[in-house]
Structure 1
Amino acid sequence: MVAQGFTVDLKKPLVFQVGHLGEAYQEWVHQPIVSKEGPRFFQSDFWEFLTRTVWWAVPTIWLPVVCYFTSRSIAMGHTAPEVLAMVLFGVFIWTLLEYMLHRFLFHIETKSYWANTAHYLIHGCHHKHPMDGLRLVFPPAATAILCIPLFYFIKALATQSTTPALFAGGLLGYVIYDCTHYYLHHGQPSKDPARGLKKYHLNHHFRIQDKGFGITSSIWDRIFGTLPSAIGSTKMR
């Protein structure tokens, strides 16, 4: 595509190209290329490796962490039902965070070189290449970095004994989100609610990209008025 005199070469590493699109970046990044073969991001093999993550790495790495933090609240004197309630509340809070991040960060409009570059790395690449299975879930190194401020934010609001279980719930919500997101792109659900969620999410990718920000649920779209008026029969091929 040619924009402002610049051509994006899909045969070359993309990350440091897309910033040059300027104001044309938003239009370019929302014209999906439906191919199971993902693009190369970086010339460096090391940085390229860090951008690729198999989906099963998410539950394999983070579910043991969820169990550890859950056990910490139990060890501090909370009963199993109390901890379960805290974990479920953490999952619920994650669904709101999931919506807010997707709507206000992942879909922020950018036009400067570095803003376009950052947006492409965070979420733009997913809209441009929605079937790239190795860049669908969040890389574990990035998740670990983001977990630190999340933990201390919860710690500032909760008590010492409830913080671990609430954090575990938020982290469990993230695991459910990333695995669900992968399945909606690469699975073939035959029954609801999974079938409806897949249709709902593909509608966001291919028809109405400024609505339908929920992944695991449409509840926050309904509450905040971003529910698409109608969902078509868009299919990934």
Structure 2
Amino acid sequence: MVGKFVVDLDKPLVSQVGHLGEAYDEWVHQPIVSKEGPRFFANDILETLTRTRWWVIPLVWLPVVCWLVFVSMQRSLTPAEAATTLVSGIFTWSLLEYSLHRFLFHMKTQSYWGNTFHYLLHGCHHKHPMDALRLVFPPAATAILCVPIWTVVRLLSAPSVAPAFFGGLLLGYVMYDTTHYYLHHGQPSTGVPKNLKRYHLNHHFRVQEKGFGITSSLWDHVFGTYSSPKVVC
């Protein structure tokens, strides 16, 4: 029980979490470690749309990345220039990844619709961190978010550069989502993967207001949100 409203975990959650009001932030950051995810909606179609297997992400988006790089090369970029532009997009994504996680995914909400939106966006992941089917972003939702990002890239970049740079952003996203899935469900034993898993689990179970980097802790170091992990995994 949190505050005056009790969330019934045996009923669809999305229509309930908004009623938590000020107590939502405390409730959503008390994780339930179970591989079986909760039900979001009573409607079966809506419920199905919230579930995505991890391999769908590279299957859908990697061909798009290749096509975008091809378009840039058709518009006069050399292979070396296209590769450099792609890498620039990946690096820019790493900053976008950090910024979205820190300022959007961890925003504080209290209103009914604010709590509901946050739960659908990221709160559900903190409440049920091992829910494998709600760990990556559904492609339809990603496509919607791509529209304003592509618009900005197209306005700020040369016609030959914009597709490859956007392709780099998209490839960075694919790396982020698949890495994120692996950090929760993979079992790395040594090296960088093990350190990344420890760092991310530290964010979930120890210091949730720090450690926003997923694919690296670079921007956490730059902006002072690095948290030394102590979780043993």
Verify same fold: TM over 0.5. Answer: yes
**What per-residue deviation string (whole Å, max 9, x for no partner) do you get for residues 28-80 of structure 1?**
00000000000000000010011000000000000000000000001111110
Distance 1:2 1:155 in 2: 47
Residue of structure 2 in register with 1:92 after alignment = 91
**Secondary structure, in 3 states, of the residue corresponding to 1:95?**
helix
After superposing on structure 2, the runs of 4+ consecutive aligned residues of structure 1 that deviate more than 2 Å are: none
Aligned AA (2:102) = R
**Secondary structure, in 3 states, of the residue corresponding to 2:194?**
helix
Residue of structure 2 in register with 1:57 after alignment = 56
Residue of structure 2 in register with 1:202 after alignment = 201
Percentage of identical aligned residues? 64
Residue 128 of structure 1 pairs with residue 127 of structure 2: yes
Distance 1:78 1:132 in 2: 42
Residue 177 of structure 1 pairs with residue 176 of structure 2: yes
Distance 1:61 1:67 in 2: 11
Residue 232 of structure 1 pairs with residue 230 of structure 2: yes
Aligned residues, how many?
233
Distance 1:85 1:39 in 2: 43
Distance 1:84 1:133 in 2: 33
Residue of structure 2 in register with 1:155 after alignment = 154
The root-mean-square deviation of aligned C-alpha atoms, in Å, is 0.7
Aligned AA (1:77) = S
Residue of structure 2 in register with 1:105 after alignment = 104
Distance 1:147 1:231 in 2: 33
Distance 1:153 1:197 in 2: 31
Alpha carbons 1:13, 1:42 under 8 Å: kept: yes
Aligned AA (1:59) = P
**Secondary structure, in 3 states, of the residue corresponding to 2:163?**
helix
**What per-residue deviation string (whole Å, max 9, x for no partner) do you get for residues 194-217 of structure 1?**
000000000000000000000000
Aligned AA (1:27) = E
Residue of structure 1 in register with 2:37 after alignment = 38
Distance 1:192 1:86 in 2: 29
**Secondary structure, in 3 states, of the residue corresponding to 1:193?**
helix
Alpha carbons 2:2, 2:27 under 8 Å: kept: no
Distance 1:224 1:2 in 2: 33
Q: 1:2: how far off?
A: 3.5
Q: 1:191: how far off?
A: 1.5
Aligned AA (2:187) = Q
Distance 1:234 1:123 in 2: 24
Aligned AA (2:182) = Y
Distance 1:129 1:139 in 2: 17
**What per-residue deviation string (whole Å, max 9, x for no partner) do you get for residues 136-180 of structure 1?**
000010001111111111011100110000000000000000000
Distance 1:87 1:8 in 2: 45
Alpha carbons 1:206, 1:234 under 8 Å: kept: no
Structure 2 gaps, min length 5: none
Aligned AA (2:66) = C
**What per-residue deviation string (whole Å, max 9, x for no partner) do you get for residues 70-95 of structure 1?**
00001111110000000000000000
Q: 1:233: how far off?
A: 2.4
Residue of structure 1 in register with 2:16 after alignment = 17
Residue 79 of structure 1 pairs with residue 84 of structure 2: no
Aligned AA (2:219) = W
Distance 1:127 1:192 in 2: 26
Q: 1:6: how far off?
A: 1.2
Alpha carbons 2:7, 2:16 under 8 Å: kept: yes
Distance 2:47 2:11 in 1: 13
**Secondary structure, in 3 states, of the residue corresponding to 1:189?**
coil
Alpha-carbon spacing, 1:231–1:217, altered in 2? closer, same or farther (3 Å)? same
Distance 1:184 1:150 in 2: 27
Aligned AA (2:229) = I
